[in-house]
Amino acid sequence: MSRYWNKIVATLDPYTPGEQPRIQDLVKLNTNEHPYGPSPKVLAAIAAHTNDSLRLYPDPTAAVLRQAIAKRFTLKPEQVFVGNGSDEVLAHVFHALLKQEAPVWFPDITYSFYPVYCGLYQIAHRAIPLDAQFKIRVEDYLPNGAQGTAGGIIFPNPNAPTGCAHVLSDVERIVAANPDIVVVVDEAYVDFGAQTAASLIDQYPNLLVVHTLSKSRSLAGLRVGYALGHPDLIQGLDRVKNSFNSYPLDNLALAGATAAIEDEEYFEQSRQAVIRSRQALVQRLTALGFEVLPSAANFVFARHPAHTGESLATNLRARNILVRHFNKPRIADFLRITIGTDLQSEKLLNALGEILKK
């Protein structure tokens, strides 16, 4: 606390990112990074732009990247917004599209950055409890009078940190029932097993779909995310972005991200590899007695009936294995475990086997 801080800074409760320790031989399964590297074409594109052209500012409109993203989703570039990671895209979404008179609605168990943005931008919110199976109940997101009206709705699909997916028809019901407000679907993990709502964008002017290159494209270190939606929504985001930082993506990020979006073949094989490893990990965790929520993401959310989440996480850490543990109501006994390489899974399972025997 400092007397030089303004009132808002003094009240902030910032997001705590998963640790990034630099420890040798660490089995790092705590921040949902992809276990394999990005496409070689991405590395080549970045290398090709590592030259004197770095003296120039990047294209503030990111035209080439937006064109590539639009093409992949059969949309127009005016329906695409890009930012410095989807966290930045989401920040602008809260500021430009969700800061309304009424509270924004999201699940009680969800991406913990959402309430942080609400604090930063002074937006009221209402946390809607997931059901006993940790699923979103569609009915809770339809205007029903009892809870008043929402100023906006946001949820991840698949949800984080549960990994549970919603079918597209459920997402569409929520979007269709709320034509007067923006409904944001945060699809950070969609490529690992859920259906994207991108196909609905031409139909619903209130739908915004947010993606990241950090997870399924193996580019967490490059910081690129994007939003897909009606040109009016994209223009709103552009107005905020151009009032904040005109150049959120540098030359290397633009080149690398464009190459990543265009390399469909590499994308397909690397996401399939993660899905296969997830299926194997779920089976073996279940055999160890874990309850594993159905996952459509590159992580699993699991608890053991005989051990607290806290003690499992601490014991894994002592063996140089990092997983994510949230000390929060309803989910304190769960571990969120990122899908790693086969070798990492083996180390994790061996360690868990020992810990459970003790």
Ligand X SMILES: *Cc1c(COP(=O)(O)O)cnc(C)c1O
Residue numbers at the binding site for ligand X (CB under 6 A): 85-87, 111, 156, 160, 186, 188, 212, 214, 220, 225
Residue 210 Cβ vs ligand X, minimum distance, rounded to whole Å: 7
Q: Is 301 helix (H, G, I), strand (E, B) or coil?
A: strand
CA distances from residue 270 to 16, 40, 266, 310, 345 in whole angstroms, order as listed: 28, 12, 6, 32, 17
Cβ 269 to ligand X shortest distance, Å: 22
CB nearer to ligand X: pick between 85 and 236: 85
> Closest CB to ligand X among 162 and 206?
162
CB of 356 to ligand X, least distance (A): 28
Which CB sits closer to ligand X, 188 or 355? 188
Give 72: exposed, middle or buried? Use CB within 10 Å, 0-12, 13-18, 19+. Answer: middle
Q: What is the dihedral of CA 116, 93, 198, 126, to 10 degrees?
A: 50
**Phi (first) and psi of residue 6, to 5 degrees:** -85, 175
Q: Are 42 and 264 in contact (CB under 8 A)?
A: no
**75/160 with CB nearer ligand X:** 160
* Minimum separation from the CB atom of position 225 to ligand X (A): 4
240 touches 61 (CB < 8 A): no
Task: In whole angstroms, give the CA distance from residue 70 to residue 65.
Answer: 9
Smallest distance, ligand X to C-beta of residue 218, A: 12
The nearest distance, CB 89 to ligand X, in angstroms, is: 7
- Per-residue tokens: 129: 């409890």
* Cα 108 from Cα 142, distance rounded (Å): 16
Nearer to ligand X, 32 or 251 (CB): 32
Compute the chain's Rg from CA coordinates.
Answer: 21
- Residue nearer to ligand X on the CB measure, 27 or 89: 89
